[in-house]
């Protein structure tokens, strides 16, 4: 076959130029040009200054908290998300459809509302906090509070990536495993889990990426003490309020680069999942 | 061969038991999962409404009809009323180009559409401050011409549009790809114009997906906090949206009023979830109906 000389294959449908032109113009004006402003603005700093800002102890502590708490939250969500997807697909119980619908609550609930609600629950005098306090567990106004908020906002991702894959798994392979003498746990660990891995990792990555940049739900419950419970997005705002525009932008550039890398990983993961799915006989 | 084993009863019973967990495992797992969801979803949701009504209906009502609350509600509605239609037009254009045509660089375009999901809301606000703020690229020009974007309504609208760019496009693209192009090609061949084809063929085919995207986009537009917080300047009665109003009241220790305002947003979230479930049920029912039709034909 001859290699196509044009970049677009022929179609009788009209409107391609208009639709694509508008799409690219819109994305450029709303997303791309404004985002490029961060990189250009941070270039006002010399390389040495930039390095000093982004590796200042307070900045490093904020990355540790943002990325660390996001990772712990995403891990918790990977485990309990798999469990939730499992009971929603495999079992029947009263109220199941309601529970299924509520899993998406963190997508629909504004982050500020989630923030004050979680604080009301986990503050030392809160609904659950008052029972945890005597046990010596402080949640709100500590880094643990950050983990709670980031777990909340990442909750739907693993459930929603694992659920469809679990629904599509054929019963035959489990029956075959049972016939060959595997017990239930062996079937799960050796047959089901390998099939769920790609979806599980994708869900983890999505939850992690969402949590790293999260702001609204965290600021209420975190306590926001520099070096201890201050997340990176809050550090950006603090610097903005002190009119340190270049400094705020430098931190933003670090976070943007991390986000772009994550987006790349997620896209390849999703390609991997669909590829695996497509090849399945 | 396996079907022979399955139809003979003793084997079948053993096999079906071997792919089911024991009852105590089943209920244990259900209890564990529901306990987890209670800790993170149900208890916090209940807390919002309980705290909102703690001081009685009168205080609740008074905090909603407070002039600052009303102007916050108004601004939230304005921002959503601009952001959602704008992103609807974008979503339809992007999905028409991506789903109905084949061209190079499609994957890159899809990634670019996803970009606002990957960017921290705080950075979404920051970029507009860098462009339009007093120290920004266009700051001098804007102040010379007496145009205010940052710490004003246009900045809030822009930030809201940015964070909601992908919602409708991401719903429509896979749907329109699955529909293929045959119906549109037939319409065009029979003399329909591009707009007629879009209005009468393409959009009716994806109406539920479209509605789904609009609902999710609207929920995010009305609830956005981080991005709007950076560009708003928190001027009461002028640049406060409902989520920002919640924050101000909360930081002033007016908890009942804060949770009253929050309960409106939580109500919006519940309506969003209900509509979402309804659409999923509706499209599921349509899918089953068309599958049955197909199986009758064979």
Backbone phi, then psi, for A104, in 5-degree steps?
Answer: -80, 0
The pLDDT value recorded for residue B292 is 75
Is B101 in contact with A116 (Cβ distance < 8 A)?
A: no
Beta bridge partners of A8: B103
pLDDT digits (tens, 9 = 90+) for B127-160: 999 999 988 889 889 989 998 999 999 999 999 9
Is B266 in contact with A26 (Cβ distance < 8 A)?
A: no
- Locate B138 and state its tokens: 């266009």
Candidates 3.30.830.10, 1.10.3720.10, 3.40.50.2300, 3.40.50.720; CATH matching A46-280: 1.10.3720.10
Is A32 in contact with B135 (Cβ distance < 8 A)?
A: no
Residue B7 has pLDDT above 70, yes or no: no
The Cα of A143 is separated from the nearest Cα of chain B by a number of Å equal to 17
Is A23 in contact with B198 (Cβ distance < 8 A)?
A: no
Is B246 in contact with A220 (Cβ distance < 8 A)?
A: no
Please state the pTM of the whole predicted model.
0.90
Residue B16 has pLDDT above 70, yes or no: no
Predicted confidence band of residue B295 (pLDDT cuts 50, 70, 90):
low
Own/partner contacts of B286-294, CB < 8 Å, gap of 24 or more, are B286/B208
Q: Which of A84, A127, A249 sits opposite B130 (nearest CB)?
A: A249
Is B265 in contact with A113 (Cβ distance < 8 A)?
A: yes
Is B47 in contact with A91 (Cβ distance < 8 A)?
A: no
Nearest Cα residue in chain A from B132: A34
Chain CA centroid to CA A44, Å: 31
Residue with tokens 């109406």: B207
Residue A3 has pLDDT above 70, yes or no: no
The pLDDT value recorded for residue B285 is 84
What does pLDDT average to over chain A? 91
The pLDDT value recorded for residue B125 is 95
Q: Which of A13, A209, A252 sits opposite B118 (nearest CB)?
A: A209
Of chain A, the percentage scoring pLDDT greater than 70 comes to 96
Average pLDDT estimate for A76-89: 96
What does pLDDT average to over chain B? 89
The pLDDT value recorded for residue B39 is 94
The Cα of A259 is separated from the nearest Cα of chain B by a number of Å equal to 6
Residues B248 and B239: their CA atoms lie apart, in Å, by 12
pLDDT digits (tens, 9 = 90+) for A228-238: 999 999 999 99
Q: Which of B30, B197, B216 sits opposite A87 (nearest CB)?
A: B30
> Chain A to chain B, count of Cβ pairs less than 8 Å apart?
292
Chain B contact present for A16, CB below 8 A: yes
Is A30 in contact with B122 (Cβ distance < 8 A)?
A: no
Predicted confidence band of residue B1 (pLDDT cuts 50, 70, 90):
very low
The pLDDT value recorded for residue B260 is 96
Average pLDDT estimate for B235-261: 92
Query: Which helix H or strand E contains A127, and what residues bound it?
Result: none
Residue A6 has pLDDT above 90, yes or no: no
The pLDDT value recorded for residue A280 is 44
Q: Where are the domains of chain A?
A: 14-43, 46-280
Is B120 in contact with A212 (Cβ distance < 8 A)?
A: yes
The pLDDT value recorded for residue B87 is 97
Is B273 in contact with A93 (Cβ distance < 8 A)?
A: no
Of chain A, the percentage scoring pLDDT greater than 90 comes to 69
The pLDDT value recorded for residue B9 is 46
Chain B contact present for A103, CB below 8 A: yes
Is A248 in contact with B43 (Cβ distance < 8 A)?
A: no
Residue B129, C-beta contacts closer than 8 angstroms, at least 6 positions apart? A240, A245, B136, B150, B230, B231
The pLDDT value recorded for residue A81 is 97
Contacts of A13 in chain B (CB under 8 A): 100-101, 181, 184-185, 188, 194, 197
Rg (C-alpha) for chain A, rounded Å, is 23
Q: How many CB atoms lie within 10 A of CB B282?
A: 13
Contacts of B118 in chain A (CB under 8 A): 209, 213, 259-260, 262-263
Residues A78 and A154: their CA atoms lie apart, in Å, by 10
A residues 54-73 near B, CB within 8 Å?
none
Contacts of A109 in chain B (CB under 8 A): 45, 223, 265-266, 269
Residue A4 has pLDDT above 60, yes or no: no
The pLDDT value recorded for residue B273 is 95
Residues B137 and B120: their CA atoms lie apart, in Å, by 22
Contacts of B112 in chain A (CB under 8 A): 27, 31-32
Of A127, A189, A201, the C-alpha closest to A162 is: A201
The pLDDT value recorded for residue A277 is 58
**More confident site: B14 or B47:** B47
Average pLDDT estimate for A27-49: 92
Chain B contact present for A223, CB below 8 A: no
The pLDDT value recorded for residue A162 is 95
pLDDT digits (tens, 9 = 90+) for B156-198: 999 999 999 999 999 999 999 999 999 999 999 999 999 999 9
Q: How many CB atoms lie within 10 A of CB A268?
A: 12
- Locate A257 and state its tokens: 């680069």
Is A113 in contact with B184 (Cβ distance < 8 A)?
A: no
Chain B contact present for A169, CB below 8 A: no
pLDDT digits (tens, 9 = 90+) for B223-233: 999 999 999 98
Residue A5 has pLDDT above 60, yes or no: no
A residues 114-153 near B, CB within 8 Å?
114, 116-118, 120-121, 126-128, 148, 151-152
pLDDT digits (tens, 9 = 90+) for A83-131: 999 999 999 999 999 999 999 999 999 999 999 999 999 999 999 999 9
Q: Is A98 exposed, middle or buried (0-12, 13-18, 19+ CB in 10 A)?
A: exposed
Is A113 in contact with B188 (Cβ distance < 8 A)?
A: no
Residue A126 and residue A133 in contact, taking contact as beta carbons nearer than 8 Å: no
Contacts of B222 in chain A (CB under 8 A): 110
Contacts of A263 in chain B (CB under 8 A): 111, 114-115, 118
pLDDT digits (tens, 9 = 90+) for A145-186: 999 999 999 999 999 999 999 998 888 888 888 888 888 888
Q: Which of B98, B121, B262 sits opposite A215 (nearest CB)?
A: B121
Predicted confidence band of residue B12 (pLDDT cuts 50, 70, 90):
very low
């Amino acid at each position: 076959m001859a290699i196509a000389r044009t970049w677009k294959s022929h179609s009788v449908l009209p409107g391609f130029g208009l639709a694509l032109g508008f799409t690219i113009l819109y994305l450029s004006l709303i997303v791309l040009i404004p985002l490029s402003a961060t990189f250009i603005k941070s270039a006002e700093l010399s390389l040495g200054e930039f390095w000093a800002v982004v590796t200042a102890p307070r900045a490093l502590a904020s990355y540790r908290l943002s990325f660390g708490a996001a990772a712990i939250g995403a891990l918790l969500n990977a485990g309990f998300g798999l469990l939730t997807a499992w009971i929603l697909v495999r079992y029947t119980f009263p109220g199941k459809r309601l529970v299924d619908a509520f899993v998406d609550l963190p997508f629909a609930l504004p982050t500020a509302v989630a923030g004050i609600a979680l604080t009301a629950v986990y503050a030392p005098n809160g609904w659950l906090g008052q029972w945890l306090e005597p046990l010596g567990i402080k949640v709100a106004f500590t880094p643990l509070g950050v983990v709670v908020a980031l777990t909340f906002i990442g909750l739907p991702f693993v459930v929603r990536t694992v659920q469809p894959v679990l629904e599509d798994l054929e019963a035959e392979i489990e029956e075959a495993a049972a016939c060959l003498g595997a017990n239930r746990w062996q079937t799960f660990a050796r047959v089901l889990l390998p099939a769920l891995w790609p979806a599980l990792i994708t869900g983890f990555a999505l939850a992690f990426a969402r949590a790293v940049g999260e702001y609204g739900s965290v600021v209420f419950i975190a306590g926001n003490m520099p070096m201890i419970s201050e997340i990176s997005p809050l550090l950006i705002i603090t610097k903005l309020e002190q009119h340190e525009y270049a400094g705020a932008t430098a931190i933003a550039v670090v976070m943007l680069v991390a986000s772009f890398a994550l987006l790349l990983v997620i896209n390849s993961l999703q390609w991997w999942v669909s590829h695996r799915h497509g090849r399945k006989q | 061969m396996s079907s022979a084993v399955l139809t003979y009863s003793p084997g079948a019973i053993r096999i079906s038991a071997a792919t089911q967990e024991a009852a105590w495992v089943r209920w244990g797992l259900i209890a564990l999962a529901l306990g987890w969801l209670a800790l993170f979803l149900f208890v916090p949701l209940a807390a919002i409404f309980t705290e909102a009504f703690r001081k009685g209906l009168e205080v609740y009502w008074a905090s909603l009809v407070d002039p600052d609350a009303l102007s916050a509600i108004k601004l939230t509605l304005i921002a959503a009323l601009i952001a959602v239609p704008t992103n609807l037009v974008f979503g339809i254009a992007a999905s028409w180009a991506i789903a109905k045509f084949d061209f190079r660089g499609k994957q890159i375009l899809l990634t670019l559409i996803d970009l606002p999901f990957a960017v921290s809301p705080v950075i979404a606000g920051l970029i507009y401050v860098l462009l339009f703020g007093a120290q920004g690229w266009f700051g001098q020009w804007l102040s010379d011409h007496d145009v205010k974007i940052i710490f004003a309504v246009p900045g809030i609208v822009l930030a809201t549009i940015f964070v909601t760019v992908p919602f409708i496009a991401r719903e429509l693209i896979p749907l329109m790809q699955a529909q293929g192009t045959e119906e549109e090609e037939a319409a065009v061949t029979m003399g329909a114009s591009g707009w007629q084809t879009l209005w009468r063929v393409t959009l009716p085919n994806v109406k539920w997906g479209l509605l789904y995207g609009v609902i999710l986009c609207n929920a995010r537009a009305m609830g956005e906090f981080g991005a709007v917080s950076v560009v708003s300047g928190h001027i009461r009665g002028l640049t406060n949206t409902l989520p920002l109003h919640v924050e101000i009241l909360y930081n002033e220790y007016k908890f009942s009023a804060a949770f009253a305002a929050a309960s409106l947003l939580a109500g919006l979230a519940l309506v969003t979830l209900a509509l979402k479930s309804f659409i999923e049920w509706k499209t599921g029912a349509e899918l089953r109906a068309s599958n049955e039709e197909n199986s009758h034909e064979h």
